[in-house]
C-alpha cells in the first residue's frame, strides 16, 4: 500500500517536473560546492607547515575561495527551498482540489454513511500533515542523496581503503532506518484514524450542543471524548517513540563510521601515506557523509506519517463517483411537469426492502400530497425524483424522458425544493437568498421576501439584506431560517415544486399566509407536498398515502375520507 501511495504522490509531483529538475540541479551544485570546501580547508592546513613556514598568501586565496563557495551554496539553497516549497504546496493544492471536487461527485450513499468530521479531517488535517512530510522530503532527500554519492566519489578518489571502511559500515545505518520505518507506518495510520474520529466527534458535538445540554449528556460526552483522546494519545506516543529511535540509532552507527575513519586515517598519516590536511578532508567527508543519513532517516519517519495521511485522502479521491450523466443527455430542458413512475423499486439497505413496484402517473399542474407514518418512504420518493438516489429497478420519467437519461443539473433546475432541514451559508441575507445566482435585482429579491413573509424580519436586522450571518443562521430562529429557504424558491420559480414539510417550523398565522402564497406559486405547476399536518394538504389534487414503501391509498381529500381507510384514521387522529 505504501508503494502504491508513493507512486500516486509522484504522479502529482510529475506535473511540476521543471521545478523538480531545477531543485535537483541546485542540489547537485550545493553538494559539489559543499564537498569542495573541505578540500580547500585541507589544502589550507597543509600550508600551515610550522612556525615561520606558513604560506599566508596561499591561505588567503583559499579562504577567499571558501567564502565565494559558501555564498554560492547559500544562494543555491535559498532558490532550491523556494522551488521545493512551490512544488509541495502546488501538489497539496492539486490533491485538496481533487478531493473537494470528488466530494461534489460522490453519491449520497457515501455521504450518508460517513461522519462529516472524518471527511473534513481527510481534506484539511490529513492534507496538512501530508504537506509537512512532503516538504521535508523535497528539501532534504535530494540534497542528502547527492551529498552521499558525491562524498563517496571524492573519498574513493582520495583513499580507496578508508572509503571501503565507510561503505562497509553504511548498510547498518540503512538497515536500522528501514527496520524502524516499517513499524512506524502502521502506527501513524492508526494515529491518523484516531485524529479523524476525534475531529468527527467534536464537529458533531458543536453542531448539536443544544441537544446535548437539553438532555444533560455532557458527562457521557466527556467520557466518550476522553476515550478517543486517550486512544489518540496512546497511538501518538507509540508512533513518535518508535519513529524517534531512528535518529539516535543512525547517529550511533555514523559515529562508529567517523571513529573508524579517524583511526585508519591516523595510521595512514603516521605511515606517510596521507598528509594531515588529507586527514582533515577525510574527517570532514566522513561527517558530511553520515549527516545526510541522519537527515534521511528523519525524512523517512516524516514520510511514514505523510503517506499514512495521503492514503486516507487518496481513498476519498478514489471512491466510486455517482453514475455519470449520459453524453447524449439534452443540455437544456424546460419541463411541462408530467411525471410517470413505473414499477419502481428502491432500498437503502439492499437486504431490507423499502419501495417496491411503485406506479404513479402525474399530469402537468397537479398538486400531489404525500402522507404516511415516519419511515413509510415519503422523503425517499423525493430523493428518487431529484436523483439523489437512482431506482434499483423500474423507471421515473418526466415528459417522456427517463430521468437517468437527463443531466442531474438539468433535472434539478426544473425543481424548486424547500426542505424541513434548513441550509444557510456564511454570507449576507441577500447571498443566502440568491445562492450566488446573478441577474436578480433588489426589487425582485424584496418581492420574493415579501411573498414568503420574510421581508418584515429582514428589515429589522442591523443591515437588512446586507446583514452577514454564519452557516448555522446565527441568532435567526428556526422559523426565520425556513422563511429564507422559502424565499429562495419564490425568487425563481421552476416548473415543478417539492415542499418537504416546508412550513414545519413556522407559526400557524404565518403558515396560513404562506400557504396562500404557495397556492398562487403552485398554480399550473406540478407540485409534490410532503406533510404530516394533514390540514395543509386538503386542497391537493391527489393525495398519496404511503405505508412501508407502498401507496396503499390514492385520491383527493374527500374521496379518502369517504373510504374510511388508513388516511381516515390519520386525519381523525390529528383532529380527535
Q: List pLDDT tens digits, range 303-341.
A: 777 877 888 888 888 888 888 777 777 777 778 888 898
Q: Which residue has the higher pLDDT, 155 or 49?
A: 155
pLDDT in tens, 374-410: 777 888 888 888 888 888 899 999 988 888 888 888 8
Among residues 459, 493, 527, the one where a domain terminates is 493
Is 29 in contact with 72 (CB distance < 8 Å)?
Answer: yes
Residue 106 and residue 240 in one domain = yes
Q: Note whether residue 455 is domain-resident.
A: yes
| Number of other CB atoms surrounding residue 503 within 10 Å | 23
Residue 308 and residue 433 in one domain = no
Q: Which residues contact 415 (CB under 8 A, 6 or more apart)?
A: 385, 386, 494, 496, 497, 498
Q: Report the candidate in 429, 482, 427 with the shortest Cα–Cα distance to residue 459.
A: 429
State residue 142's pLDDT score.
73
Q: Report the candidate in 497, 466, 470, 496 with the shortest Cα–Cα distance to residue 481.
A: 470
Note every long-range contact of 162-171, with CB atoms under 8 Å and residues 24 or more positions apart, other chains counting: 162/261, 162/264, 162/265, 162/268, 162/282, 165/257, 165/260, 165/261, 165/264, 166/257, 166/260, 166/261, 166/286, 166/289, 169/253, 169/256, 169/257, 169/260, 170/257, 170/293
Torsion of CA 100, 104, 107, 108, to 10 degrees: 100
Q: Which residues contact 421 (CB under 8 A, 6 or more apart)?
A: none
State residue 79's pLDDT score.
92
| Band of pLDDT at residue 71, cut at 50, 70 and 90 | very high
pLDDT tops 60 at residue 576: no
Domain that residue 157 falls in: 90-317
Measured CA to CA, the distance from residue 509 to residue 532 in angstroms comes to 18
Measured CA to CA, the distance from residue 396 to residue 376 in angstroms comes to 19
pLDDT in tens, 12-25: 888 888 888 888 88
Q: Which three cell numbers stand for residue 185?
A: 507506518
Among residues 447, 478, 493, the one where a domain terminates is 493
DSSP strands (E only) in 386-482: 393-398, 401-402, 415-418, 427-428, 468-469
Q: Which residues contact 530 (CB under 8 A, 6 or more apart)?
A: 369, 370, 371, 378, 379, 382, 498, 499, 500, 501
Q: Report the candidate in 309, 343, 317 with the shortest Cα–Cα distance to residue 132.
A: 309
**Burial of residue 163, with CB atoms counted within 10 A of its CB: 0-12 exposed, 13-18 middle, 19 or more buried:** buried
Highest mean pLDDT among 193-202, 220-229, 250-259: 220-229
State residue 165's pLDDT score.
75
Among residues 493, 525, 550, the one where a domain terminates is 493
State residue 169's pLDDT score.
72
pLDDT in tens, 501-547: 766 666 777 777 777 777 777 788 888 888 777 766 777 888 888 88
| Band of pLDDT at residue 1, cut at 50, 70 and 90 | very low
Q: Note whether residue 74 is domain-resident.
A: no
Q: Note whether residue 401 is domain-resident.
A: no
SS3 401: strand
Beta strands at 496-500 and 339-346: parallel, antiparallel or unpaired: unpaired
Residue 311 and residue 437 in one domain = no
Highest mean pLDDT among 161-165, 365-369, 548-552: 365-369
pLDDT in tens, 453-476: 888 889 988 888 888 887 766 678
pLDDT tops 60 at residue 110: yes
Residue 114 and residue 247 in one domain = yes
Q: Note whether residue 208 is domain-resident.
A: yes
We report the CATH number of the domain holding residue 462 as 3.40.50.300
Beta strands at 401-402 and 415-418: parallel, antiparallel or unpaired: unpaired
Q: Note whether residue 392 is domain-resident.
A: no
**Angle formed at CA 88 by CA 83 and CA 90, multiple of 5 degrees:** 95
pLDDT tops 60 at residue 111: yes
Residue 121 and residue 266 in one domain = yes
Measured CA to CA, the distance from residue 147 to residue 288 in angstroms comes to 7
With a pLDDT cut of 90, the percent of the chain lying above it is 2
Q: Which residue has the higher pLDDT, 30 or 112?
A: 30
367: left (phi over 0), alpha (psi -120 to 50) or beta: beta
**Angle formed at CA 48 by CA 44 and CA 49, multiple of 5 degrees:** 135
Q: Note whether residue 123 is domain-resident.
A: yes
State residue 298's pLDDT score.
66
Q: Which residues contact 355 (CB under 8 A, 6 or more apart)?
A: 344, 345, 346, 347, 377, 380, 381, 384, 549, 550
Average pLDDT, the chain: 81
For the chain, the distance separating the N- and C-terminal CA atoms, rounded to the nearest angstrom, is 64
| Number of other CB atoms surrounding residue 175 within 10 Å | 13
| Number of other CB atoms surrounding residue 41 within 10 Å | 17
Q: Which residues contact 557 (CB under 8 A, 6 or more apart)?
A: 537, 538, 539, 540, 543
We report the CATH number of the domain holding residue 165 as 1.20.1560.10
Measured CA to CA, the distance from residue 211 to residue 214 in angstroms comes to 5
pLDDT tops 90 at residue 75: yes
Q: Which residue has the higher pLDDT, 563 or 265?
A: 563
Is 479 in contact with 507 (CB distance < 8 Å)?
Answer: yes
Alpha helices of 326-463 — where are they, by DSSP H?
378-385, 408-413, 429-434, 442-451, 455-459
Residue 168 and residue 306 in one domain = yes
Measured CA to CA, the distance from residue 417 to residue 413 in angstroms comes to 10
Mean pLDDT of the region 423-437: 83
| Band of pLDDT at residue 297, cut at 50, 70 and 90 | low
Beta strands at 415-418 and 496-500: parallel, antiparallel or unpaired: parallel
State residue 535's pLDDT score.
66
State residue 478's pLDDT score.
77
Angle in degrees, 0-180, between the axes of helices 218-244 and 160-207, rounded to the nearest 10:
170
SS3 229: helix
Question: pTM for the whole thing?
Answer: 0.67
Q: Which residues contact 191 (CB under 8 A, 6 or more apart)?
A: 232, 235, 236, 239, 305, 308
Residue 312 and residue 436 in one domain = no
Residue 302 and residue 166 in one domain = yes
Lowest model confidence (mean pLDDT) among 94-98, 319-323, 450-454, 572-576 = 572-576
Give the number of domains in the chain: 2
Q: Note whether residue 255 is domain-resident.
A: yes
Q: Note whether residue 326 is domain-resident.
A: no
φ, ψ (nearest 5 deg) of residue 426: -70, 110
Measured CA to CA, the distance from residue 252 to residue 249 in angstroms comes to 5
Amino acid at each position: 500500500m505504501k508503494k502504491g501511495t508513493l507512486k500516486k504522490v509522484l504522479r502529482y509531483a510529475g506535473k511540476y517536473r521543471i521545478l523538480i529538475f531545477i531543485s535537483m540541479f541546485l542540489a547537485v551544485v550545493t553538494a559539489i560546492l559543499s564537498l569542495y570546501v573541505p578540500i580547500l580547508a585541507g589544502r589550507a592546513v597543509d600550508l600551515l607547515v610550522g612556525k615561520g613556514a606558513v604560506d599566508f598568501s596561499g591561505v588567503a586565496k583559499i579562504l577567499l575561495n571558501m567564502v565565494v563557495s559558501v555564498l554560492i551554496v547559500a544562494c543555491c539553497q535559498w532558490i532550491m527551498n523556494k522551488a521545493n516549497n512551490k512544488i509541495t504546496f502546488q501538489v497539496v493544492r492539486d490533491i485538496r482540489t481533487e478531493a473537494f471536487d470528488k466530494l461534489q461527485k460522490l453519491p449520497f450513499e457515501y455521504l450518508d454513511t460517513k461522519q462529516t468530521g472524518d471527511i473534513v479531517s481527510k481534506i484539511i488535517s490529513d492534507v496538512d500533515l501530508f504537506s509537512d512530510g512532503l516538504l521535508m522530503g523535497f528539501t532534504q532527500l535530494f540534497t542528502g542523496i547527492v551529498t552521499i554519492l558525491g562524498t563517496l566519489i571524492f573519498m574513493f578518489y582520495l583513499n580507496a581503503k578508508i572509503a571501503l571502511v565507510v561503505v562497509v559500515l553504511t548498510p547498518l545505518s540503512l538497515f536500522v532506518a528501514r527496520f524502524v520505518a516499517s513499524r512506524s507506518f502502521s502506527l501513524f495510520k492508526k494515529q491518523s484514524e484516531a485524529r479523524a474520529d476525534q475531529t468527527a466527534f467534536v464537529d458533531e458535538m458543536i453542531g448539536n450542543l443544544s441537544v446535548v445540554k437539553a438532555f444533560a449528556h455532557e458527562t457521557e460526552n466527556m467520557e466518550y471524548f476522553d476515550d478517543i483522546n486517550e486512544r489518540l494519545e496512546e497511538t501518538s506516543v507509540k508512533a513518535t517513540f518508535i519513529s524517534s529511535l531512528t535518529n539516535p540509532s543512525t547517529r550511533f552507527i555514523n559515529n562508529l563510521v567517523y571513529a573508524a575513519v579517524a583511526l585508519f586515517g591516523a595510521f595512514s598519516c603516521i605511515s606517510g601515506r596521507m598528509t594531515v590536511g588529507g586527514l582533515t578532508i577525510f574527517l570532514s567527508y566522513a561527517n558530511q557523509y553520515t549527516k545526510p543519513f541522519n537527515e534521511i532517516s528523519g525524512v523517512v519517519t516524516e514520510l511514514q506519517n505523510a503517506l499514512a495521511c495521503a492514503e486516507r485522502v487518496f481513498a476519498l479521491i478514489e471512491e466510486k463517483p455517482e453514475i455519470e450523466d449520459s453524453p447524449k443527455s439534452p443540455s437544456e430542458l424546460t419541463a411541462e411537469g408530467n411525471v410517470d413512475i413505473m414499477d419502481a423499486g428502491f432500498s437503502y439497505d439492499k437486504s431490507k426492502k423499502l419501495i417496491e413496484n411503485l406506479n404513479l402517473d402525474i399530469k402537468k399542474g397537479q398538486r400531489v400530497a404525500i402522507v404516511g407514518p415516519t419511515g413509510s418512504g415519503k422523503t425517499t420518493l423525493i430523493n428518487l425524483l431529484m436523483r439523489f438516489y437512482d431506482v434499483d429497478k423500474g423507471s421515473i420519467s418526466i415528459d417522456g424522458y427517463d430521468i437517468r437519461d437527463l443531466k442531474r443539473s438539468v433535472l434539478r433546475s426544473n425543481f424548486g425544493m424547500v426542505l424541513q432541514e434548513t441550509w444557510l451559508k456564511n454570507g449576507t441575507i441577500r447571498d443566502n437568498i440568491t445562492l450566488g445566482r446573478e441577474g436578480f435585482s433588489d426589487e425582485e429579491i424584496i418581492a420574493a421576501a415579501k411573498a414568503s413573509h420574510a421581508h418584515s424580519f429582514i428589515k429589522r436586522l442591523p443591515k437588512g439584506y446586507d446583514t452577514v450571518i454564519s452557516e448555522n443562521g446565527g441568532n435567526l430562529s428556526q422559523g426565520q431560517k425556513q422563511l429564507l429557504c422559502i424565499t429562495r424558491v419564490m425568487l425563481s420559480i421552476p416548473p415543478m415544486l417539492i415542499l418537504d414539510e416546508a412550513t414545519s417550523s413556522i407559526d400557524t398565522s404565518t403558515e396560513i399566509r404562506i400557504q396562500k402564497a404557495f397556492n398562487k406559486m403552485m398554480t399550473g405547476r406540478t407540485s409534490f407536498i410532503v406533510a404530516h399536518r394533514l390540514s395543509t394538504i386538503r386542497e391537493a389534487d391527489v393525495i398519496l398515502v404511503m405505508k412501508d414503501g407502498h401507496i396503499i391509498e390514492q385520491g383527493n381529500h374527500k374521496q379518502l375520507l369517504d373510504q374510511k381507510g388508513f388516511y381516515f384514521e390519520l386525519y381523525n387522529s390529528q383532529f380527535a
